[in-house]
Structure 1
Amino acid sequence: MTVSLSRRAALAGAAALPFAGAAAPVLAGGHGGRAEAPIAHSFKLGEMPVTTLLDTSVAREGQKAMFGVAASDEEFSQVSAENFISSDTLQFYFTPTLVDTGAELVLFDTGLGMGGIAKALTAAGVTPDQISVVVITHMHPDHIGGLMTDGAPTFPNARYVTAAAEYNFWSKMEPGNRVGDLVASNVTPLAEKTTFIDDGGSVASGITAVASFGHTPGHMCYMLESGGRQLLLTADLANHYVYSFARPDWAFSFDADAEAASASRRKVLGMLAADKVPMIGYHMPFPAAGFVEPRGEGFRYVPVSYQLMG
């Protein structure tokens, strides 16, 4: 699949990222006087421990402009009501994932860089210097913000992996582009320690890249395999557990190439539903793991309960 992404579209999308100007984030572990919520949740995929890490959670308004700009107000409200959610406000979750291959600790994405990833790793009993590999699914700020801390690599002993197409695009941005500038400060200094891969590339034993271009030029999902079982890390393939599934063809306003992103959603979600493979989505409600089933002309996200406990 190819992506026809113009630099103008990339500039516009990067300037309006839904998380760039989010007000009053709810940092994991401190929820406005309420009891602390879990910020690390472990599953078992065959012999491979998998831990989701809640970097932060943010409330936002105006989701119709993000997820249903082409829909009528009535249709958008109907989809919301059918799924027992408000059509006026939503909650975003930001969930990196830690995978233990037995030989290496592999971290997928690093959060916004507000300290949440360090807290979540601590809750999981891991320190940043223990991370062996950092995989960047794509280079939006909420995925690369935690790569650096005070100008130094947050994960000093790690090697890095990302898609060649993703880095090649963002690293060529002129100064003044928000994503390009963050790539220059957080990703480019690590380039000598980075492996740039393509579709089907191997990160480590049992971890394979799956191209899902559209949200960004080199957006990748990653298939985990262990003990005859599979789980797909879908990153930002789907950005909301209702709208992206129920109406996969609705353009998400922050997808760089809406047509390619919708095609990727349909293809990957269709595969997950047909093969009954579980997924972990970066913006799904924590702990961010679930299954996909067909529903009407789209799909339904079914959160896991105890299916991945052992």
Structure 2
Amino acid sequence: MTTTPARWLRKGIAALAGSLLMLSFSSTALAGAPQVKTQAPGFYRMMLGDFEVTALFDGTLDLEPKKLLTNTTQEQVGKLLDRGFEKDAVPTSVNGYLINTGSKLVLVDTGAGGLFGPTLGNLQANLKAAGYQPDQVDDVLITHMHGDHVGGLVQDGKLVFPNATIHAGQEDADFWLNKANLEKASAEMKGFFQGAMASLNPYVEAGKFKGMKGGTELAPGIRAVPAHGHTPGHNIYVVESKGQKLVLWGDLMHVAAVQFAQPQITISFDVDSKPAAAERKKAYADAAKGRYLVGSAHLPFPGLGHVRAEGKGYVWVPVDYQQIR
């Protein structure tokens, strides 16, 4: 009877020693593992009725809302950024959207290509990672001709999408592809014109560009809707299949932490900020009322979700990650 506690003690010491040894091995292994420092491929896939929609990540670009946002004050912007857990420099996504209708492969916006430096220009690689090739794309729909939306059209002077027709607002083509406008533009604006011309003109010369005005059906279930202001020919795209709806906003908004709460706040990139603000307010109200899905070029990737009205502003509700069924 007197030896039992001693046996328990010896067993306990042995177990403790074994645990400490295993912990030591585990800690050593974890400390010795190199950090990978790479991210998963940037695509997110979902079904919209019979359509397959793939969000494509081009990268991020730091924006400084206090310097760029207009029709507001730096103090107001700072408070809204703080409430949204954002700093003065906000990492801002650039997103494109690939729609497979079953008979057509349609890409909305192409990312920045080589126009904006090393943090952008990944859309083509992510399109391939998602299982597609650029030469499979039938149509490219451009929301507007800013470089972070059209730069991916051309690489090393060659057409990235050689079999595609490029569609964009004719008003944007008349504005951004006009040499006279380039010559009289301010120094900071010249880059916008040069980027548009370098990206679009090869398709214009190849007979692969089609300008459009007004609401235009571009493929069964996909139509353009004018939303001018941010640029003269800015369009949004409505995608519908089997009663489900997705509206792709382009650049109707840029800074989620600020512009959902205060839709009247504009950005210095707007060519005409007054109609840009009006189009944003209209889009928010319609999305909240209609409860349909929204995709936006500069919301955190994949930039898909819903809009809910709250007080005098709105709240962004991102999609949940889901498996394809």
Q: Structure 2 length as normaliser, TM-score?
A: 0.80
Deviations 1:83-119 (A, max 9, x none): 2323x12111111110001111101111111341221
Asked if 1:71 is matched to 2:73, the reply is: yes
State the superposition RMSD in angstroms: 1.9
Residue 111 (structure 1) aligns with: 111
Q: Which amino acid is 2:142 matched to?
A: I
Residue 95 (structure 1) aligns with: 95
Q: CA deviation at 1:309?
A: 5.2
Question: Would the alpha carbon gap of residues 181 and 68 (structure 1) be closer, same or farther in structure 2, given more than 3 Å must change?
Answer: closer
Are the equivalent residues in 1 in contact too, given 2:230–2:273 (CA < 8 A)? yes
Please point out which of 38, 43, 51 is paired with 1:40. Answer: 43
Q: CA deviation at 1:302?
A: 1.0
Q: Which amino acid is 2:221 matched to?
A: G
Residue 22 (structure 1) aligns with: none
Number of paired residues?
A: 276
Partners in 1 of 2:270 and 2:36 — Cα distance? 35
Q: Map residues 201-216 of structure 1 onto 2, 5 A cutoff.
A: 201-216=216-231
Partners in 2 of 1:255 and 1:169 — Cα distance? 14
Q: CA deviation at 1:223?
A: 0.3
Residue 269 (structure 2) aligns with: 254
Please point out which of 279, 283, 296 is paired with 1:281. Answer: 296
Q: CA deviation at 1:296?
A: 2.1
Are the equivalent residues in 1 in contact too, given 2:288–2:308 (CA < 8 A)? yes
Q: Map residues 121-140 of structure 1 onto 2, 5 A cutoff.
A: 121-140=127-146
Question: Would the alpha carbon gap of residues 184 and 59 (structure 1) be closer, same or farther in structure 2, given more than 3 Å must change?
Answer: closer
Partners in 2 of 1:79 and 1:309 — Cα distance? 35
Asked if 1:178 is matched to 2:191, the reply is: yes
Deviations 1:123-167 (A, max 9, x none): 111111111111111000111111111111001111111111111
The structure 1 segments of at least 4 consecutive aligned residues displaced by more than 6 Å after TM superposition are none
Are the equivalent residues in 1 in contact too, given 2:252–2:276 (CA < 8 A)? yes
Q: CA deviation at 1:69?
A: 6.0
Partners in 2 of 1:296 and 1:308 — Cα distance? 34
Residue 14 (structure 2) aligns with: none
Are the equivalent residues in 1 in contact too, given 2:252–2:280 (CA < 8 A)? yes
Q: Structure 1 length as normaliser, TM-score?
A: 0.84
Partners in 1 of 2:159 and 2:47 — Cα distance? 29
Q: CA deviation at 1:291?
A: 0.6
The answer to which of 219-228 and 289-298 deviates more is 289-298
Residue 84 (structure 2) aligns with: 83
Please point out which of 188, 200, 203 is paired with 1:190. Answer: 203
Partners in 1 of 2:106 and 2:72 — Cα distance? 39
Higher relative contact order (CA 8 A, sep 6+): 1
Q: CA deviation at 1:59?
A: 2.9
Q: CA deviation at 1:219?
A: 0.4
Question: Would the alpha carbon gap of residues 129 and 290 (structure 1) be closer, same or farther in structure 2, given more than 3 Å must change?
Answer: same
Are the equivalent residues in 2 in contact too, given 1:44–1:308 (CA < 8 A)? no
Higher helix share: 2
Q: Which amino acid is 2:97 matched to?
A: T
Give 1 or 2 for the bigger CA radius of gyration. 2
Q: Which amino acid is 2:66 matched to?
A: K
The answer to which of 225-234 and 171-180 deviates more is 171-180
Q: CA deviation at 1:169?
A: 1.3
Q: CA deviation at 1:242?
A: 1.9
Asked if 1:149 is matched to 2:155, the reply is: yes
SS at match of 1:214: coil
Question: Would the alpha carbon gap of residues 67 and 33 (structure 1) be closer, same or farther in structure 2, given more than 3 Å must change?
Answer: farther
Please point out which of 260, 267, 285 is paired with 1:270. Answer: 285
Deviations 1:155-212 (A, max 9, x none): 1111111111111111224345222223322212212212222221011110011111
